[in-house]
């Protein structure tokens, strides 16, 4: 099982400092969610863990080895990353995109081995993309395209999976599919997962650890019960929530306290009192 450690990362885009000094660990065989408001630096941190971005200071270690010292191919055999947004070259089909995930495993002669093809078929199946295998990725719906990218990352069959908002664009069934698929891979194969999720309840239900970020800094890190508290949510997101145990699983679940307090001034309709209405109707 593989650990990812980030030590004292300082990350800037040009002169704009995004992450002043951040350390975190994705523990081997655990699922860790990075949470935080838009612009808090989640994607920036995830890209740095995957060596897609170079920190100005600090270092990332993959199982104790500094990733700047590792050949790209070796990193790609151990770590797959689903970026928040990616462009597909024109005309590439779902099957071809999934095949890109096998490049780190191919020998110099190229071509897909039996093992490559088995991994690609498996990735196609578990993302329910079999009927779309021959479709050009550009012609897919947002959710179908997202699943094609997830399939590519899965086909890479790495010990570490970094997923930036893998459930965005997906309907609820496919969201749950992806969350339980990744959780299942983690349980069965000890894959270390770091994912960015915006749904706090899904993050708490499907992760071992949560890391809450704001302004490029870690505000809280620990088990869902430790991190998902009303006061941390208030501090990080500036909204008042109540946290209750999920009625079936018991995982911490947050609900807005006051639907009418939005800054937009929107006040939802008052719940209709159907019992009174019915009585009134009966009395007519």
Ligand X SMILES: Nc1ncnc2c1ncn2[C@@H]1O[C@H](COP(=O)(O)OP(=O)(O)OP(=O)(O)O)[C@@H](O)[C@H]1O
Total interface residues for ligand X by CB under 6 A: 12
Part of the chain binding ligand X (CB under 6 A), chosen from 35-43, 68-76, 145-153, 222-230: 35-43
Rounded to the nearest 5 degrees, what angle is found at the Cα of 217, between the Cα atoms of 213 and 218? 55
The interface with ligand X within residues 60-89 (CB under 6 A) comprises 84
* 217 belongs to the binding site for Mg ion (CB under 5 A): no
Q: Is 157 helix (H, G, I), strand (E, B) or coil?
A: coil
* 15 belongs to the binding site for ligand X (CB under 6 A): no
Residue 105 or 145 with smaller CB distance to ligand X: 145
Question: Considering only CA atoms, which of 213, 214, 211, 217 is closest in space to residue 21?
Answer: 217
* 43 belongs to the binding site for Mg ion (CB under 5 A): yes
Q: Within 10 Å of residue 219's Cβ, how many Cβ atoms?
A: 16
Binding partner of 80, given Mg ion, ligand X, none, CB within 5-8 angstroms per partner class: none
Residue 80 or 98 with smaller CB distance to Mg ion: 80
Residue 46 or 98 with smaller CB distance to Mg ion: 46
Sequence-ordered list of residues with C-beta below 8 angstroms from that of 34, at least 6 positions apart, any chain: 42, 45, 46, 194, 195, 196, 211, 213
Spatial distance between the Cα atoms of 72 and 102, rounded to a whole number of angstroms: 14
Q: Is 262 helix (H, G, I), strand (E, B) or coil?
A: coil
Residues of this chain that interact with ligand X (CB under 6 A) are 13, 16, 18, 36, 38-44, 84
Residues of this chain that interact with Mg ion (CB under 5 A) are 42-43, 84
């Amino acid at each position: 099982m593989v650990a990812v450690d980030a030590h004292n990362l300082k990350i800037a885009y040009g002169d704009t400092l995004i992450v002043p000094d951040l350390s975190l660990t994705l523990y081997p065989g655990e699922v860790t969610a990075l949470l935080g408001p838009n612009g808090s630096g989640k994607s920036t941190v995830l890209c740095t863990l995957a060596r897609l971005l170079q920190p100005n200071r600090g270092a990332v270690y993959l199982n104790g080895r500094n990733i700047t010292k590792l050949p790209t191919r070796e990193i790609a055999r151990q770590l797959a990353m689903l970026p928040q947004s990616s462009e597909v070259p024109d005309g590439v089909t779902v099957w071809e995109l999934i095949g890109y995930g096998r490049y780190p495993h191919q020998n110099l002669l190229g071509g897909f081995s039996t093992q490559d093809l088995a991994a690609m078929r498996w990735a196609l199946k578990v993302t329910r993309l079999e009927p779309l295998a021959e479709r050009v990725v550009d012609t897919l719906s947002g959710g179908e395209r997202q699943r094609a990218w997830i399939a590519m990352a899965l086909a890479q069959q790495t010990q570490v999976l970094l997923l930036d908002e893998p459930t965005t664009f997906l309907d609820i069934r496919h969201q749950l599919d992806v969350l339980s698929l990744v959780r299942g891979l983690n349980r069965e194969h000890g894959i270390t997962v770091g994912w960015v999720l915006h749904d706090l309840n899904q993050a708490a239900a499907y992760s071992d650890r949560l890391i809450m970020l704001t302004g490029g800094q870690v505000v809280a890190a620990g088990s869902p019960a430790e991190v998902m508290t009303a006061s941390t949510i208030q501090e990080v997101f500036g909204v008042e929530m109540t946290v209750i145990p999920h009625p079936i699983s018991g995982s911490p679940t947050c609900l807005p306290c006051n639907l009418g307090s939005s800054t937009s001034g929107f006040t939802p309709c008052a719940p209709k009192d159907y019992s009174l209405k019915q009585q009134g109707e009966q009395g007519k």
